[in-house]
Structure 1
Amino acid sequence: MDSPTQEASLKKSFKPSWVFAMALGSAIGWGAFILPFDWMTASGLGGALIGLAIGGGLIAIIGFSYGYAIKSLPVTGGSVVFAMVSLGRTHSFIAGWALTLGYAGIVALNASAVTLVFRVTLPNLFQRFPLYDVAGWTIYVPEIILASAFILAFAWLNWKGSELSGRFQLWAVILLIAAVVIIFVSLLVYFFTVQPELPSAIPTGTSATAAILTMVAFAPWAYVGFDSIPQLAGEFNFSARKALGLLLWGITAATLIYMTMMVATVIAVGTDHVAYEDSAWPPGEAIAEVMGPIGLILMVVAVTMGVLTGLNGFFAASSRVVYSLGHADLVPKAFGVLDARYNTPRNAILFVAAICLITPWFGRAALTWIVDMTSAGITFAYFYTCFCAWKIARTGQVAGMDNPLRRSKVQEVLSAIGCVLAVGFLALLLVPGSPGMLDTPALVALVVWVLLGIAYYFIMMKRLKDVSEDVTQEKLLQLHA
């Protein structure tokens, strides 16, 4: 018989190397291999590198709170539980609602990125049988089939067990790192032997401050994925005290990959920026011209591994969030059921897959609106985790902890800064004139999402009117490692 209880069913099988791979692989997606050409125009090499370093540092501050919270409460569904024990059931629901759609949206975006890779590398094979256009993006039958196939494949991978998804993540990340290192070293050799002319460190007509801040504003979304780790904490087969180091190494490695791809792209493009403006994939084409066909192959390997590790990592994280909500009756109980054979959150995985299978029919352009607005949800998770860590650091204990911790003034300050950063990241999305201001379609999607959440919240509260918050909290804390 299926059981929703963590103690009886969910396996503690995640190894440290798998957790590191989940953090890094989820944080690095297609953008690291597509966007450096755009960053050349907006920020230049100097502005981009400084901005990425600052952005990585800001995310690391939040990462300290994540590590501290995981050490204190290694619980499946992480941020949902952190919100519960620090602020109550309403905030726990908000965190879960935000993360479910946020993570599922990124799963869908990565599935669409698979079709983007094929659209660039094999356009004649997949750009056939057009159906219709959505926001200027043509929908092709083969691309719908391809994206759907990858969604189903990773649903199957996660259903079969965390051992399979964890091993896949590790080997895919190893391939990604190997491809990036070879590209970077090759371009450095090219630079020192040929000595090509490079563009100015800061674009002409752009101030250094503006160039750097443009990249800093990108940071909250460049590193989304490291935060998937607390959702899996109940399945660690090692001490949760190691989580902080794994998170910080993941953030550091992600920063270095962004930086190395930026340097490689600038060396390959040089001052001939105009020649690549009409290219479907400027970094790939420029690096291929320097390295030859092997360069294009390595770029395809790198971007493909970045996309697939994102698919896998966010599938795992989103299904655990839905599972924890179901376990606590914050969504239908069926989502809190584990597969009797594989001990995985079967119904939660199928739910995430079902949502994502709708998205290929709307195209990548429309999907980016959804993902843009779900970025707001990710910042809510940042805030709740930092607030929980702040409360633990200030008082030494919250509900569910086995033993109180010594109060930490340093962590209290770091967590308070993390809360401020989370609010600042949200402001970047919502304040008019800010660098990350959401477009109108994304704002409309955000309003619809919030209204749906409010409607479901009142339905849920009517159903739970006779259930105390202590009962809900206890159910979530049963997911303790």
Structure 2
Amino acid sequence: MEQRTELKKTLKPHWVWAIAFGSAVGWGAFVLPVDWMGMAGPLGVITGFSIGAVLMIIIGVSYGFLIEKLPVSGGEFAYAYFGFGRHHAYFSGWFLALGYMCIVALNASALALLAKFVLPGIAKQGLLYNIAGWDVYAGEVAIACTALVVFAYLNIRGTSLSGLAQFIFCMTLIVGVILLTIGMFLHPTSSVTNIQPYFKPGVSTISAIIAIVAISPWAYVGFDNIPQAAEEFDFPPKKAFTLIVLALICAGITYSLTVLATAVAMPWQSLIEQQSIWGTGEVVESAYGKIGISLLAISLCMGIFTGLNGFYVSTSRLLFAMGRAKILPKAFATLHSKYETPYVGIIFTCMICLFAPFFGRQVLLWIVDMSAIGVTIAYFYCCAVAFKFFSWSATASLSQDSAVTVSPLRKFISLLGLLSSLGFFLLLVVPGSPGFLGTPSWIALFAWVVIGIAFYTVKQKEFNAIPKATLDYYILGIENETSKATAAAREEDEVALTKTPPEVENLH
């Protein structure tokens, strides 16, 4: 059994909060308010995202418990293994890796989309082709690829640098959102009456709100980056739940403010009828000209940067954990000789995502829609494992695993999280539901499943041959008698190598 590679504990609490908050907000808060209002109306959007935040906090209870119990890299991959074994761990990890990598690629394409609006002379240079109705330019491809490479390098340099950068990005984002909201409300042409009607006409209030709740897992995905970095906390893991709650509350407020800032500028239904490329950008530019659009662009850049940075962290840590477990090639568990970061996973993520800009944003959106299933699967596993290891009573826990914790309240909350996760999954896969995937997304999902089955078939024999005690050590860091004996033997060998052999001593 090989020695377990571990990551350095360098992440401070406010950096971890920034990873969760920045990843959860991303670019959507600045680009999609008009699209969301078209689905539900301003108050419908705010209500839907508020309910979504509450549901995510309920799911976050299970995350907080498992982070405290298992402060290791891998997050849901490690939790699925802990609760249900190696096959479930692979299933969860495979889908989650896809979801994370897609979001990295989507954030890079969002930066190119911003450049198309703010700097069209650069982004729209060199028309390459049209794919699925989207013109792909060499300029926008170059911008997206440059962002991917720069943030890969930033993450290779270490979590101390990327964590501090994430916090600075988040503070800049928050200041920008506050200034934009205040500015839009105080502008002479703005009016709170523009927010009316509060809900989308012709659609029931409940249906409008559910349509937004259905996309909440996508909107808030990123708070679950916290467990991926748990092995690197330089603080007690029990603080993680507080950081999750704070990140989700801040994300929900940010979404609400950007919707309100957009809606007060002009009657929101008129804004939808204009079918503008970037509704929020147009109303801000109309109100405050280049200064306003520059402030909005900076805020949007911060949202994109936090998403890129945060999901590079989570993707590389997930790949690192899977490499350490021998599911993926062991190179993924290798640390950089100088910076001690899982650089192979970072480089791999960068290389895969570099292909995305060439397919155009519409194709990428199909894949991202499909990857939302991976995120909901991860939520489901986390809540299911927490439910399994909470007990209703002390009497019931006596007949169960010794790892069971007596907490009827948290068991009930984990059950609510389990049902919420299942509900999110059904909203994506049940025909007629608000979040039902389109045909291209189903094709992409089928392809990913086939690839996953093929890869598992190749690795199955090797993976199944690893003893459970060894996997416990690799994935969870749990040392049993076998791993302790191995470690002791390794230490004896190292000591022996430093001693002078007797025959050499006799020569003296």
Return the TM-score normalized by structure 2: 0.89
1:82 to 1:195, Cα distance in 2 relative to 1, 3 A: closer
Instruction: Decide which of 47, 60, 71 is 2:57's aligned counterpart.
Output: 60
User: Letter of the aligned partner of 1:151 in structure 2?
Assistant: L
Q: How big is the shift at 1:212?
A: 1.4
Summarize the alignment of residues 37-436 of structure 1 with structure 2, pairs less than 5 Å apart.
Answer: 37-190=34-187, 197-270=194-267, 273-274=270-271, 277-394=274-391, 406-436=405-435
Which deviates further from its counterpart, 239-248 or 120-129?
120-129
Matched, 1:449 2:455: no
Deviations, residues 81-136 of structure 1 (Å, cap 9, x unaligned): 10001000001111111111110110001011110000111112221211111111
Shift of 1:195: 6.2
Contact 1:231 1:320 in 2 (8 A): yes
Distance 1:406 1:43, change over 3 A: same
Question: How far apart are the structure 2 equivalents of 1:195 and 1:242?
Answer: 39
Look up the SS of the partner of 2:92 in the other structure.
helix
Separation of aligned partners in 1, 2:456 and 2:79: 19
Shift of 1:61: 0.7
Report deviation, 1:474. Answer: 1.8
Aligned-pair identity (%): 40
CA distance in 1, matches of 2:379, 2:465: 31
Give, in whole Å, the separation in 2 of the partners of 1:25 and 1:274: 28
Other structure's SS at 1:131 match: strand
* Corresponding letter in the other structure for 1:133: N
Q: Alignment partner of 2:354: what SS?
A: helix
Cα 1:303/1:5, change in 2 over 3 Å: farther
Runs of 4+ in structure 1 over 4 Å off: 4-9, 191-197, 395-398, 403-406
CA offset digits 1:154-187 (Å, max 9, x no partner): 1101101000110110000000000001111222
Kept after mapping to 2: 8 A contact 1:191/1:267: no
Letter in 1 for 2:203: T
1:21 aligns with 2:11: no
CA drift of 1:455 comes to 1.3
SS at match of 1:11: coil
**Structure ID, larger Rg:** 2
Alignment-mate amino acid for residue 450 of structure 1: V
Q: Which amino acid aligns with 1:421?
A: S
Paired position in structure 2 for 1:32? 29
Query: 2-side partners of 1:267 and 1:193: how far apart?
Result: 5
Q: Flag the 1:170–1:466 CA change in 2: closer, same or farther, 3 A.
A: same
Distance 2:448 2:107 in 1: 21
1:204 deviates by: 2.4
Q: Structure 2 CA distance, aligned partners of 1:249 and 1:234?
A: 20
Code of the residue aligned with 1:14 in structure 2: it is L
How far residue 65 of structure 1 moved from its aligned partner, in angstroms, is 1.0
1:14-47 CA-partner distances (Å, limit 9, x unpaired): 1000010000100112111111112222211221
Per-residue deviation, 1:341: 0.8
Structure having greater relative contact order (Cα 8 Å, sep ≥ 6):
1
Three-state SS of the structure 2 residue aligned to 1:12 is: coil
**How large is the Cα RMSD of the aligned pairs?**
2.3
| Structure-2 separation of matches of 1:233 and 1:143 | 35
**Cα distance change on mapping 1:192 and 1:440 into 2, 3 Å:** closer
Q: What letter is aligned with 2:437?
A: L
State the distance in 2 between where 1:56 and 1:279 align. Answer: 28
Task: Report deviation, 1:279.
Answer: 2.4
Q: Deviations over 1:280-324 (max 9, x none)?
A: 211111122223332211211111111110000000100000000
**How far apart, in 2, do the equivalents of 1:408 and 1:124 lie?**
60
1:330–1:199: structure 2 CA closer, same or farther, 3 Å change rule? same
- Partner amino acid, structure 1, of 2:25: I
Q: If the length of structure 1 is used for normalisation, what is the TM-score?
A: 0.94
Letter in 2 for 1:304: C
Q: CA deviation at 1:256?
A: 0.2
Query: Counterpart of 2:128 in 1: which secondary structure?
Result: strand
Deviations 1:371-430 (A, max 9, x none): 1111111111101111122122229999xxxx9674111111111111111111111111
Shift of 1:456: 1.1
8 Å contact kept, 1:396–1:406:
no
Q: Answer whether contact 1:396 1:404 (CA < 8 A) is retained.
A: no
Change (3 A) 1:8 1:217: closer
Q: 3-state SS of the aligned residue for 2:186?
A: helix
Q: Distance in 1 between matches of 2:296 and 2:7?
A: 37
Offset of residue 188 of structure 1: 2.8
**SS of match in other structure, 1:139:** strand
Letter matched to residue 444 of structure 1: I
8 Å contact from structure 1 (residues 76, 324) kept in 2: yes
CA change 1:341–1:38 in 2 (3 A) is same
For the 8 Å contact 2:191–2:266, the answer to whether it is kept is no
Amino acid at match of 2:327: L
> In structure 1, what is the equivalent of residue 502 of structure 2?
none
Q: What is the distance in 2 between the residues matched to 1:362 and 1:348?
A: 23
Q: CA deviation at 1:190?
A: 3.4
State how far apart, in whole Å, the 2-side matches of 1:394 and 1:463 are.
35
Deviations 1:55-98, CA, capped at 9 Å, x for gaps:
11111111111111111111111111100010000011111111
Any stretches of 5+ residues in structure 2 without a counterpart? 480-508
What one-letter code is carried by the residue in structure 1 that aligns with 2:149? Answer: L
Aligned equivalents of 1:165, 1:254: Cα separation in 2 = 20
Letter of the 1:453 counterpart: G
How far is 1:264 from its partner? 0.8
Change in CA separation of 1:451 and 1:200 when aligned onto 2, cut-off 3 Å:
same
SS of the aligned residue for 2:234 comes to coil
Count residues in correspondence: 473
